[in-house]
Amino acid sequence: MQYGMIIDLERCVGCHACTIACKAEWEVPVEFGRNWVKRLGPSKVGNELASTYYPGLCNHCAKPPCVDACPADPAEMTFKDAKSGKTTTLSVAATWKDPFNGTVQIDKSRCIGCGACVESCPYEARYINPAMVDDVSSDGKADKCTYCMPRVEAGLAPACVQTCITNARIFGDLDDPTSEVAKYVKKGAKGLEPKGESIGPNSRYYGKKKDMTLLFQESTPELADMGSVKRRAMMASMVKPAMRKARDLGLLGLAGAMLVKGLSEKKNDE
C-alpha cells in the first residue's frame, strides 16, 4: 500500500483553503506550513499564456532523502499493517518510511532538531517547529505533513482534502488500481521529480498540458548535496551539548570578543 495525493489543477482555483485548514488542524505555527499554494504565471508557455497553481506538500517519497539524512540514533520500532494486522519490526532513525502505508513520519520524542532532514528535502516540505521543545532539543523538532494519518486512521479525510472547495485534492492508495488516485495516475498525473533524479514523489499533479508545462517549468526542485547536508547535521548534533554548555557559561561571548579583537589587530598590522 502506498498512500498518495492527487492535485487536479483543472479543478484547483488557488484558494489556499487547504493550507489554512492544515494549520488549524495541526496547530502549525503562523510562519510555517505543512502545505502551500503558489500562483504561477501568467507566463508564456510556447505561444500561449498560462497561469496555474503549485499546491505543494510532502511527497512521502518512494526513496525519501530526508529519511537517509536523519542522524538520530536508530531504535527498534514495530509497525502494524492497518488492514491485515501484520507487524514488522525495523530499526529506524527519528524519521522513516512506513513499510505498510508508505507514508514518511517523524518521531518527535527522538528528533534532535538538527534540521538535516529539512535541508535534504528538495521540496522544502519540512520545517523546524519551534513550539516543540523538550530535553532532547530546545530548538524545536522537525515537522511536516503526515498525510493526516491520525485522521485517516480515525476514518476521516485529510484536513486539506476535506476542506478543498472544488475536490481538487484526492487522497487514496496508489497501489490499489481501483482507487481514484490510481486512475488519475493512469490518466497521466505526475509527481515533481527533482532535476535528473528519481525519488518517487507520491503527491502528483494532473492538469491541462500548458498548465502542467508551466508547473514543471517553474517548480521542479533540485536535490540538495547530501554529502554536505549530512556532514553539517552530524557536526551540529555532536557538538550541540558542548556548545550549549559554553554558551551557558558565557564563554561564547568571550570567544567572540577575542575574535573581533584579533581581526582588528590584524587590520592595524597591515
Partner 1 sequence: MSESNTSQDIASLYRFLAQCMQYPDPEWMNDDFFNVFYNLLGSLGAVTEGKEIRKALEQSSDFIEDLQIEYTRLFINGVPHVVAPPFASVYMDKSIQGSFALRTLNFYRKKGFAMGEEADLPDNLIHELEFLSLLTEEEDYVGEEEFLSTLFRPWYKCFCPRVAEETRHPYYRMVVTLIDFFTKEEEEDGFQLNEA
Partner 2 sequence: MAFNLTRRKFLQTASLAAATVPLAKFVSAETGVAKVSLEAQGTMGDTTVVGGLCEMCFWRCQLVGKVRDGQLMKLEGNPKSIDNGTAICARGNAGVKLLYDVDRLKYPLKNVGKRGEPIWKRISWKEALDECGSKLKAVVDQHGPQGICVFPHGASAKYPMHYFERTVGTHNVSEASFFQCRGIRDAAYVNTIGKAPGEFVDMANTKVLFLTGSHLGENIHVSHIKAYINGLQNGAKLIVADPRYSAAAAKSDIWVQIKPGTDTAYLLAIMNYLVTNKKYDKEFVTKHTVGFDKFSAAISEWTLDKAAKECDIPAVQIKEVAELLAANAPNVAIHPGRHVSWYGNDFQRERALACLTGLLGAYYVKGGWVPPKNPKIGKTSWATQEHGDEHNLNVSNNKMVHPFKPPGTPTELIRDCAITSKPYPIKGCVIWGQNPMQTIPNQEKMKQVFNAMDFVMCVDVMPTDVTMWADILLPESSYLERHDEIKVGVGKIKADDKEPTQFIAPRMPLVAPMFERKDQVYITNEIARRMGHEKDIPVQTLEELVNKTLESANITLASVKAEGGIHLQPGKSGYGVPEDFEVLLFNEEIAEAGFPGAPTYTPVEEVPAGYARLLYGRAPVHTFNRSQNNVWLNHEMPDNPVWLNDEVAKKLGVKDGDTVGFINSEGVKSRTTTTVKVTPGIRKDAVYMYHGYGSANPLMTAGVGKGVDDQSLITKIAVDPETGCHGMRNNFVKLQTKDDKTLDFPA
Binding stretches for partner 2 (CB under 8 A): 10-11, 13-17, 19-21, 23-28, 30-31, 33, 37, 41-44, 49-52, 108-109, 132, 134, 141, 148, 150-151, 154, 156, 162-166, 168, 211
Decide whether 114 or 164 has the Cβ nearer to partner 2. Answer: 164
* Residue 265 makes contact with partner 1 by CB under 8 A: no
For residues 53 to 92, the per-residue mask of contacts with ligand SF4, x marking binding by CB under 6 A and - elsewhere, is ----xxxxx--xxx--------------------------
Task: Number of residues interacting with ligand SF4: please give it, by CB under 6 A.
Answer: 26
Q: Pick from 3, 4, 7, 34: which binds ligand SF4 (CB under 6 A)?
A: 34
Rounded to whole angstroms, what are the CA distances from 123 to 52, 135, 137, 180, 265?
Answer: 18, 29, 24, 25, 45
Find the shortest distance in angstroms from Cβ 44 to ligand SF4. Answer: 29
CB atoms within 10 A of CB 146: 18
From the list 26-34, 99-107, 154-162, 212-220, the region that binds partner 1 by CB under 8 A is 26-34
Bridge partner residues of 80 (DSSP):
87
Residue with the three cell numbers 503526515:
146
* Shortest distance (Å) from residue 138 CB to partner 1: 11
Q: Residue 152 touches which of partner 1, ligand SF4, partner 2, none (CB < 5 to 8 A by kind)?
A: none
> By rule CB under 8 A, what string of x and - marks binding of each residue 84-123 to partner 1?
----------------------------------------
How far apart (Å, rounded) are the C-alpha atoms in residues 76 and 53? 41
Question: Quick one: what does residue 13 bind among partner 1, partner 2, ligand SF4, none, with the CB cut-off 5 to 8 Å set by partner type?
Answer: partner 2
Q: Is 141 in the site for ligand SF4 (CB under 6 A)?
A: no
DSSP class of residue 114 equals -
- Give the helix ranges, DSSP H, for 193-225: 209-219
Q: Residue 159 or residue 182: which is nearer to ligand SF4 going by CB?
A: 159
The answer to whether 74 touches 55, Cβ cutoff 8 Å, is no
Q: Which is nearer to partner 1, 63 or 247 (CB)?
A: 247
Beta bridge partners of 129: 141
Q: Which helix (H) or strand (E) holds 229?
A: helix 226-248
CB of 257 to partner 2, least distance (A): 25
Q: How many helices (H) and strands (E) does the chain have?
A: 9, 12
Residue with cell 502528483: 204
- Amino acid letter, 57: L
Contacts of 228 (CB under 8 A, 6+ apart): none
What DSSP character marks residue 166? T
Cα dihedral across residues 228, 230, 235, 241: positive or negative: positive
Residues near ligand SF4 (CB under 6 A):
22, 25-26, 34-35, 57-61, 64-66, 104, 121, 123, 125-126, 144-148, 158-160
